[in-house]
Amino acid sequence: MAFSTTTDEVMAGIDLTGRVAVVTGATTGLGLETARALAAGGAEVVICGRTAKKCEAAAAAISETVGTAKLSSAVFDLADLPSVRAGAASIVQAHPAIHLLINNAGVMFTPEGRTAQGFETQFGTNHLGHFVLTNHLLGALRGGAPSRVVNLSSAGHHSGQIRWDDLHFESEPYDKFEAYGQSKTANILFSVELDRRLAGSGVRANAVHPGMIVTDLARHMTTDDLAELQRRAAARAASGAGPGLPEFKSVQQGAATSVWAAVSAEMADVGGVYCADAEIAEAADYATDADYAARLWALSEQLVDESFPG
């Protein structure tokens, strides 16, 4: 597999008949393409989105190209934890066994804001929303074992470590790039600790970097933001602290790594790793540190006021 690998290339020869896949953020962009590819492979796909209207439109779009698609939907908002819990309950009621969970949804470079529970928007949505959702689906994932969890991260994790003493930018000025980086680092650390906790259960968890793609995710970006992103990436690359900005991918190429991590035979017994370009890749040390991963899990439980033994 390589940079230019597409979802259809990954899915060649893969039969997902009888398997259930849950995809968050499946109404647009990478999530929609991921849902389409899995449905084309025979999986029953649960399209997760914030409104019924968006879910219905996504299902219609997939059905146009995949006439045999088996689709259902779950409506909830990752930025509101009671909504997440209710959404998870509805999924489990309909699907007591889940085989694939693709935590694809996210926000990027948002203006300073807070989720319904008062968390910084990017950390609260990208990490805590998926943290709660995944844990509420674990029984069904165990019921569907062997099963896999795929958490979408980003090379953007290089722009932000976990701000242990100031997660929500209450003490220091808000930095949208650092906030995004923190949330993407959290996605990787969550994958590391989740996979550790699920050892021997038949459920594996990994994180993926889809690449740089023009989708609705970038709706908050301005021309100045792109210039600043390029400046920061160049500075990191020059100092050896991270990669520069990669070339752009198509949506089909961008979703390929998520699909690969979810269905490839190579990843059948692999967990707790970071993937890019449809292969295992290297993340920043702080994003895969086992002690940090355990610390983030404990902190996340405290923040969401819920205990998850894993």
Instruction: Band the pLDDT of 3: cuts 50, 70, 90.
Output: confident
Sheet with 274-276, edge to edge strand ranges: 70-75, 44-49, 20-24, 100-103, 147-152, 203-209, 274-276, 279-281
Domain 15-303, CATH number (from 3.30.420.40, 3.40.50.720, 3.40.50.10360, 3.40.50.300):
3.40.50.720
Which helix (H) or strand (E) segment is 84 a member of?
helix 81-94
pTM of the model: 0.92
User: Mean of the per-residue pLDDT values for the chain?
Assistant: 93
What percent of the chain is modeled with pLDDT above 70?
A: 91
pLDDT of residue 245: 58
Which helix (H) or strand (E) segment is 209 a member of?
strand 203-209
Looking from the CA of 109 toward its CB, the CA atoms found within 13 Å total 17
Instruction: Band the pLDDT of 224: cuts 50, 70, 90.
Output: confident
Does residue 237 carry a pLDDT above 80?
Answer: no
pLDDT of residue 216: 58
Does residue 45 carry a pLDDT above 90?
Answer: yes
What percent of the chain is modeled with pLDDT above 90?
A: 86
Q: Amino acid letter at 290?
A: A
Mean pLDDT of 155-172: 96
Which helix (H) or strand (E) segment is 279 a member of?
strand 279-281
Does residue 246 carry a pLDDT above 70?
Answer: no
pLDDT of residue 236: 64
pLDDT of residue 244: 56
| pLDDT tens digits, 205-218 | 999 999 887 655 55
Does residue 7 carry a pLDDT above 70?
Answer: yes
**Hey, which residues are catalytic here?**
180
Please state, in angstroms and as integers, the Cα–Cα distance from residue 29 to each residue in 92, 249, 292, following that order: 25, 12, 31
Is 133 within 8 Å of 103 (Cβ atoms)? yes
Give the Cα-Cα-Cα angle 150, 309, 162 (nearest 5 degrees): 60
- Reference 11, options 201, 95, 184, 19; nearest CA is 19
Mean pLDDT of 41-47: 98
Mean pLDDT of 165-171: 98
- State how far the Cα of 192 lies from the Cα of 262, in Å rounded to an integer: 16
The structure tokens listed for 271 are: 């967990």
Please state, in angstroms and as integers, the Cα–Cα distance from residue 264 to each residue in 11, 250, 261, following that order: 8, 21, 6
| pLDDT tens digits, 95-130 | 999 999 999 999 999 999 999 999 999 999 999 999
